[in-house]
Amino acid sequence: MGQETTRRSSAIPNEGHGAVSSVEKALRLLSTFSLASPQWALSDLAREHGIPKSTAHNLLKTLQAFDLVRQDPEDRVYRLGPRALEMGFLYARSTELLGQARPHLRRLAERSRETVKLGILSDSEVLIVAAVESTHQLHTRGDIGTRWPLHSTGLGKAILSALPLAEAEALARRRGLAALTKQTATSWPKLRAELAATRERGYAMDREENEAGVRCVAAAFVDPLRGAVAAVSVSGPSVRLSDAELAILGQEAVAVARAIRPHPHWEEL
């Protein structure tokens, strides 16, 4: 069989080759809208991306025609449009992963009484695609659609540990190993050792490496058919999550990850 990596490493989006530049610009404009700054004036967008106003204007009008962005008739700022929501739910409903995972996540959340998340690798980060929040007064958030670093989170380290080492290094390096707390692994050797331990253990641990006072365990799995790599995590405040507790939850996360792994359609073969 072909031993070569002729196949493009699917995890890393290949920017640059064969990309249609006007489309790229348009999508980059679209990606500018974030939770922190959900509305943008034309001039600011143009400045932000270093393109002329008129070019940005043309692109935005095209996006607007599809209702992906809308312009406030009053103060003329642009915001995301409802079509974005439609596409999001389309993705959520057409992806078997989510439907299969939900009951498992819910059960794990009930047993652990902590926040349970499902994240997937997207664009060198972890993207939360499903979550069940803890009912405790003090708890970690489970916001769908948020992104997190690979190197400092349980989900991220679990995902990295499931990939070939070279690929993991490339991914981790791409965003840099920023120190988010005193415990964050900020060098690749340190992180590589972490990943080795994770692989050994079967699940990843995050002891306040991403946020002070927050601990987490996570287990990865690979959607065999779609090639996506994902992970489930349980996270909560350190005061409730002792080492012993983490060990138990880690095993449970592994079990859930195994259970979620979508059975291929051809399993009956």
Q: Interface residues with its own copies (CB under 8 A)?
A: 7, 10, 13-20, 22-24, 26-27, 30-31, 33-35, 38-39, 57-59, 61-68, 70-74, 79-95, 120, 122-123, 127, 129, 143-145, 147, 225-228
The partner in contact with residue 31, picked from its own copies, DNA, none with C-beta cut-offs of 5 to 8 angstroms by kind, is its own copies
Upper half-sphere CA count for residue 59 (Cβ side, 13 Å): 20
If the CB atoms of residues 40 and 203 are measured against its own copies, the closer one turns out to be 40
Backbone angles phi, psi at 63, to 5 degrees: -60, -35
If the CB atoms of residues 19 and 166 are measured against its own copies, the closer one turns out to be 19
If the CB atoms of residues 21 and 31 are measured against DNA, the closer one turns out to be 21
The partner in contact with residue 140, picked from its own copies, DNA, none with C-beta cut-offs of 5 to 8 angstroms by kind, is none
Residue 95 contacts residue 122 (beta carbons within 8 Å): no
Q: Is residue 137 exposed (0-12), middle (13-18) or buried (19+ Cβ within 10 Å)?
A: exposed
Q: How many residues bind DNA (CB under 7 A)?
A: 24
- Compute the chain's Rg from CA coordinates: 20
Q: Give the shortest CB-263-to-its own copies separation in angstroms.
A: 15
Q: How many CB atoms lie within 10 A of CB 153?
A: 28
Report how far residue 23's alpha carbon sits from residue 16's, in angstroms, rounded to the nearest whole number: 12
If the CB atoms of residues 43 and 187 are measured against DNA, the closer one turns out to be 43
Q: Is 269 an interacting residue with respect to DNA (CB under 7 A)? A: no
Residue 213 contacts residue 222 (beta carbons within 8 Å): no
Q: Which stretch binds DNA (CB under 7 A): 19-27, 85-93, 187-195, 207-215?
A: 19-27
Q: Is 31 an interacting residue with respect to DNA (CB under 7 A)? A: no
- Nearest residue to 234 (alpha-carbon basis) of 204, 264, 196, 267: 204
The partner in contact with residue 129, picked from its own copies, DNA, none with C-beta cut-offs of 5 to 8 angstroms by kind, is its own copies
Q: Can you spell out the DSSP letters for 1-12?
A: ---S--S--TTS
Report how far residue 28's alpha carbon sits from residue 241's, in angstroms, rounded to the nearest whole number: 40
Q: Give the shortest CB-80-to-its own copies separation in angstroms.
A: 4
Which residues from 41-60 bind DNA, rule CB under 7 A?
41-44, 51-55, 57-60
Would residue 176 be called left, alpha or beta, if left means φ above 0 and alpha means ψ between -120 and 50 degrees?
A: left
Which residue spans within 133-188 are E strands per DSSP?
Answer: 147-148
Q: Is 21 an interacting residue with respect to DNA (CB under 7 A)? A: yes
If the CB atoms of residues 6 and 137 are measured against DNA, the closer one turns out to be 6
Q: Give the shortest CB-41-to-DNA separation in angstroms.
A: 3
Report how far residue 81's alpha carbon sits from residue 69's, in angstroms, rounded to the nearest whole number: 4
If the CB atoms of residues 110 and 143 are measured against its own copies, the closer one turns out to be 143
If the CB atoms of residues 86 and 110 are measured against its own copies, the closer one turns out to be 86
Footprint of DNA (CB under 7 A) = 17-18, 20-25, 41-44, 51-55, 57-60, 71, 76-77
